[in-house]
Amino acid sequence: MRSFKHAIRNLTLAAAVAVAFSAPAGAGQVNAVKDGWLLMKIHAEMVDEATLSGSNINVDVDKGVVTLKGTVRSEAGRQRAVAVAKSSEGVKNVIDQLQVVPAHGDLKPSTTDKIEHAGEKAADKTTSAAQKTGRAIDDGWIKSKIYAQYLVDWNTVLNDSDIDVDVKDNVVTLNGTVKSAEAKAKAVSTAKSTDGVKAVHDNLRVAAR
């Protein structure tokens, strides 16, 4: 089932590549299309990365140059996030501004804490085993998942959109522009239907044409 899902996602990404890299427009508009598509694609590639569990990454793209900001739980997570960004077709360079911030349970406990957190560690091991096939559903995962779903609609209703997704305590805030009322409604409904989302604040604007 997992390999089938990956195959479907790869087909979707391939279709998006064809549109993003052949869009008939002036140089400035082509860069804008590529940048928006790259942002969504990089997040889409991060969705199933177990190494990135607990991370909350912001991806900024300017004319093919990707800047990664936010936090990851480990050095391995930082390296993986950079590798995912660099491997995306169309990326010219990756600027790594990620911060490694270990989870509280990953810090070395004091002698007193060892007893106090023994039960927590046992629970963490169970959770870790369950997460080997994917990331935990947290703020970072929700953000990447929403962008991944937006990528599916890039060829149709959401093309030319410039959407910023921010997630705090499972509450999503959407900022930026879309090309139509239909695109606005689609962006909001997609966010609302994403696993783990508690609420969506819609600050999207329909760009004047």
Query: Is the predicted pLDDT of residue 83 greater than 90, yes or no?
Result: yes
| Region 46-73 average pLDDT | 95
Query: Is the predicted pLDDT of residue 15 greater than 50, yes or no?
Result: no
Residue 165: name the closest of 131, 121, 201 by CA.
Answer: 201
Report, in angstroms and rounded to the nearest whole number, the Rg of the chain calculated over CA atoms: 18
Q: What letter does residue 184 receive in the DSSP assignment? A: H
Query: Is the predicted pLDDT of residue 2 greater than 70, yes or no?
Result: no
Is 2 exposed, middle or buried, given 0-12, 13-18 or 19+ CB atoms closer than 10 A?
Answer: exposed
What percent of the chain is modeled with pLDDT above 90?
A: 60
Distance CA 113, CA 60 (A): 39
Q: How far is CA 11 from CA 4, 17, 26, 191, 206, in A?
A: 11, 10, 27, 22, 29
H runs (alpha helix) in the chain: 2-20, 27-46, 75-86, 111-116, 118-130, 139-152, 181-192
- Long-range contacts at 190-196 (CB < 8 A, ≥ 24 apart): 190/146, 190/149, 190/150, 190/153, 191/146, 191/165, 194/142, 194/145, 194/146, 194/149, 195/137, 195/142, 195/145, 196/137, 196/138, 196/141, 196/142, 196/170
| Region 102-131 average pLDDT | 45
Q: Would you state the pLDDT for residue 209?
A: 61
Mean model confidence pLDDT for the chain: 79
Give the 3-state secondary structure of residue 143: helix
Half-sphere exposure of 164 (CA within 13 A, CB side): 8
Measured on CA atoms in the order 28, 179, 140, 136, is the torsion positive or negative? negative
Longest dimension (CA), the chain: 65
Q: Would you state the pLDDT for residue 160?
A: 83
Q: For residue range 164-184, what is the model confidence (pLDDT) as tens digits?
A: 999 999 999 999 999 999 999
| Region 75-80 average pLDDT | 97
**How many residues appear in the chain?**
209
**Residue 136 banded pLDDT, cuts 50, 70, 90:** confident
**Residue 128 banded pLDDT, cuts 50, 70, 90:** very low
Boundaries of every domain in the chain: 2-206
pTM confidence score: 0.73
Q: Would you state the pLDDT for residue 114?
A: 40
Q: Would you state the pLDDT for residue 24?
A: 37
